[in-house]
A and B are shown apart, each in its own frame.
Chain A
């Protein structure tokens, strides 16, 4: 009798219990690997000094090397090059390098380029800010669109603002699609789990 009661109770418990869903699988991402610089501190100091060389080729090569090594002085040097270097070609190269990495220091350097005397540098800075994609640059671009004395630069600034608006629209559409699919998945799950 006891055995019968126990088995009946077990059947009842198995039939009516609610099984909790398994915990979600958390994907772990391996931390980024930092490569160590192959140059000593003294050598890096010499490379930094080369960034002030009268030869533009030497200046550019040293700045590029410091940037590749991740030297903390590289971004301020590039920023200064954008604003003050006498060679336009070097300034344009510095702008291109700065716009490849989205940091506040890059943003600062590119914004400084908006005040350059040479209009090609100002246009390149605008294009660099769009490539960087940092919305914090918008007020400066809007100001350039109003106040720059070159119509080519004003038109480029307006084009840059248009591209920021397009990016915002794309992000908004992606978010809306994501919310919609999450909602539909939740509704499906609710339908399947209900008796």
Chain B
């Protein structure tokens, strides 16, 4: 009888004993934000930088693409330099297309500079890139190209301005809707209290 009581008591204590707190979860791993290393060392990369001044435009372009893919610190400065100085319009247009995939103040400024290029095809490409990036601060520079002597440039400038206007209106509408939703949520919370 005593043994039964002991065993029953043991199980009763186990049942009503507070459970130990669960172990804390392990910390999450640091986000893998690193980029893969370049496939060639710095000495070889310096030679690729020299190739960006090659006589052949294809070689110049491919060297810029490679430096950009390797995330070389010289990639962006070289792209800007070639955008200003490369003798081939095709290379400049390709650089503009590459730059339009990303957005930053420097890129917008250099594209605005390209609006004054001697080649109309380069100016049109710069306008298209500014449309894609959607930086509203460039609107006044784009407006200046409405006086361009080439009709294709003037037409593209109008298209770009219209597109930026639409984007701005959409942004404002989205901000207003978000404000409205927050106001309703705050009212709802106040009513429940």
Contact of B32 among A4, A139, A162, A176 (CB under 8 A): A176
Mask of B5-30 contacts with A, CB within 8 angstroms, 1/0: 00100110000000110110110110
A138 to B56, CA, bound (A): 22
Q: B39 to A146, Cβ gap below 8 A?
A: no
Does A12 sit within 8 A of B, measured CB to CB? yes
Does B87 sit within 8 A of A, measured CB to CB? no
Q: B66 to A162, Cβ gap below 8 A?
A: yes
In order of increasing CB-CB distance, the 8 nearest A-B pairs are A151-B56, A158-B62, A172-B36, A155-B58, A8-B7, A176-B32, A165-B69, A194-B22
Q: A187 to B54, Cβ gap below 8 A?
A: no
Min CB distance A184 to B, Å, is 9
Instruction: Tell me whether chain A's interface is mostly helix, strand or loop, or mixed.
Output: helix
Q: A169 to B36, Cβ gap below 8 A?
A: yes
Contact of B39 among A11, A12, A165 (CB under 8 A): A165
Min CB distance A151 to B, Å, is 3
A183 to B26, CA, bound (A): 10
Q: Which residues of A contact B (CB under 8 A)?
A: 1, 4-5, 8, 11-12, 135, 138-139, 142, 145-146, 151-152, 154-155, 158-159, 161-162, 164-166, 168-169, 171-172, 176, 179-180, 183, 186-187, 190-191, 194-195
Given A12-B10, A145-B63, 18 more contacts at CB 8 Å? A1-B3, A4-B4, A5-B3, A146-B51, A151-B56, A152-B58, A155-B59, A158-B59, A158-B66, A161-B40, A165-B69, A165-B70, A166-B69, A168-B39, A169-B35, A169-B69, A191-B25, A195-B22
A164 to B37, CA, bound (A): 12
- Interface of chain B residues 132 through 169 with chain A (CB within 8 A): none
Min CB distance A171 to B, Å, is 8
Contact of A151 among B28, B59, B66 (CB under 8 A): B59
Q: A165 to B38, Cβ gap below 8 A?
A: yes
- Interface of chain B residues 66 through 81 with chain A (CB within 8 A): 66, 69-70
Chain B residues contacting A11 (CB-CB under 8 Å) are: 11
Q: Nearest CB to that of A182 among chain B residues?
A: B29
Contact of A195 among B19, B32, B51 (CB under 8 A): B19
Q: B58 to A151, Cβ gap below 8 A?
A: yes
A172 to B47, CA, bound (A): 25
Q: A164 to B22, Cβ gap below 8 A?
A: no
Max count, chain A CB within 10 A of own CB: residue among B10, B29, B39, B63: B39
Q: B54 to A154, Cβ gap below 8 A?
A: yes
Contact of B40 among A138, A166, A179 (CB under 8 A): A138
- Provide a sorted-by-A list of 9 A–B residue pairs whose CB atoms are within 8 angstroms: A8-B7, A151-B55, A154-B54, A154-B56, A155-B62, A158-B63, A165-B70, A166-B69, A187-B26
A176 to B29, CA, bound (A): 11
Chain A residues contacting B51 (CB-CB under 8 Å) are: 145-146, 154, 158
Does B187 sit within 8 A of A, measured CB to CB? no
Q: B19 to A161, Cβ gap below 8 A?
A: no
Does B125 sit within 8 A of A, measured CB to CB? no
Does B42 sit within 8 A of A, measured CB to CB? no
Mask of B108-128 contacts with A, CB within 8 angstroms, 1/0: 000000000000000000000
